[in-house]
Structure 1
Amino acid sequence: MKRRQALLGITLLSAGSVAFSSYKWLSWYKKPDLVYVHSQKELLAALAETIIPTTDTPGAIEAGVPDFILKMVVENTMTASQNRFIDGLKAVDPYAINRFGKPYVKCTRDQQNEVMRHFENAGKPFEGIPGKVERKLIGNSFFTTLKQYTCVGYFTSRLGATRSLAYVFTPGGYTGCVPLITGQKSWAIR
């Protein structure tokens, strides 16, 4: 009798795990809530400004990165990555409220950095081949997508390319060995 109960338990456990994983799999490919993303432009701006803040160079907001992130997520991102991004965006304010008692936009710079570190650690993919399979099947994590689009949007903007990088409007001939100066910026062209 105990053998039958054990087999029944194993069967129910297996069926439950398969049902849960298939539900999770289908939820990644549901229709994304793009209206929510459009309503969170202020939060996107604060997140992008946390990644590239205004210092002696312009920040992400000044370079127009929030609009770029919105456009990229809505128009150029796979459905699974869109859903992961939207789920992560929906989790930012509840985490900040739970941790600090206020939404992300109202948090101090240090608190915003701590929230970003939490989402960075939560979104780390597996190492090696399982990580590649994960990214291929369910897309990048919220933080990875946010950071990638923030950096691309910033460094391809006019302000990012001309004021943050060493920009040469019309480059001269190719010089293979150029001595670097201490404190020199990276080049905007390759």
Structure 2
Amino acid sequence: MQGLIAELAEVIIPRTNTPGAKDAMVEVFIVDMIKSCSDLKTQNNFINGLTELKKYTSDHYNTSYSKCSLSDKVLILKFFEDKATYHYNILNKIDRKLLGQPFFTKLKELTIEGYCSSKIGATEGLAYDYIPHNFQCCIPLTKDQRSWATK
């Protein structure tokens, strides 16, 4: 399962000119967070979601997720993203309250959290200033500078 989680995380945060989710070993973080810091409902949703993803991939693409092309991997994740949310926020809140956080939402959340809190992600993937100094609320970014947030 950890290999599948690594493949999923790498599609969410791929390696480009910066390290990707596999480089930051986000899959270890995700497994630890699901196992140690999630309630039983979230754990079950996550495991069921992984099982459903494997079955969906096998049924629709006749192969495992890791053997799919990048465009197919993106389409598979898009399918599960669309399935995880409704168009009306009130329905999303009710669904989360009754059934827990959906698989894809939790996967994406933990992938981003694990990447941003990893040493590689914080130092090479994001703009990390390790020398504390005075806070300046508005400073312009230099050319090609990475930022903590995206628009």
- Shift in CA distance, 130/187, structure 1 to aligned 2, threshold 3 Å: closer
Q: What displacement does 1:134 show?
A: 2.0
- Pairs aligned (count): 149
Indicate the structure (1 or 2) with the bigger Cα radius of gyration: 1
Q: Could you say which residue in structure 1 is the equivalent of 2:77?
A: 116
Q: What displacement does 1:126 show?
A: 6.0
Q: Could you say which residue in structure 2 is the equivalent of 1:58?
A: 19
The TM-score normalised by the length of structure 2 is 0.91
Correspondent of 1:143 among 96, 104, 113: 104
Correspondences of 1:43-82 after superposition (within 5 Å): 43-82=4-43
- Shift in CA distance, 125/78, structure 1 to aligned 2, threshold 3 Å: farther
Correspondent of 2:62 among 101, 107, 113: 101
Gaps of at least 5 residues in structure 1 are 1-39
- Shift in CA distance, 134/180, structure 1 to aligned 2, threshold 3 Å: same
Q: What displacement does 1:182 show?
A: 4.3
Correspondent of 1:131 among 71, 76, 92: 92
Q: Could you say which residue in structure 2 is the equivalent of 1:172?
A: 133
The TM-score normalised by the length of structure 1 is 0.73
Structure-1 separation of matches of 2:6 and 2:148: 26
Q: What displacement does 1:138 show?
A: 1.7
Structure-1 separation of matches of 2:140 and 2:14: 30
Please provide the CA RMSD for this pair.
1.6
**Structure 2 counterpart SS, 1:62:** coil
Q: Which runs of 4+ in 1 moved over 4 A?
A: none
Q: Could you say which residue in structure 2 is the equivalent of 1:23?
A: none
Structure-1 separation of matches of 2:8 and 2:89: 29
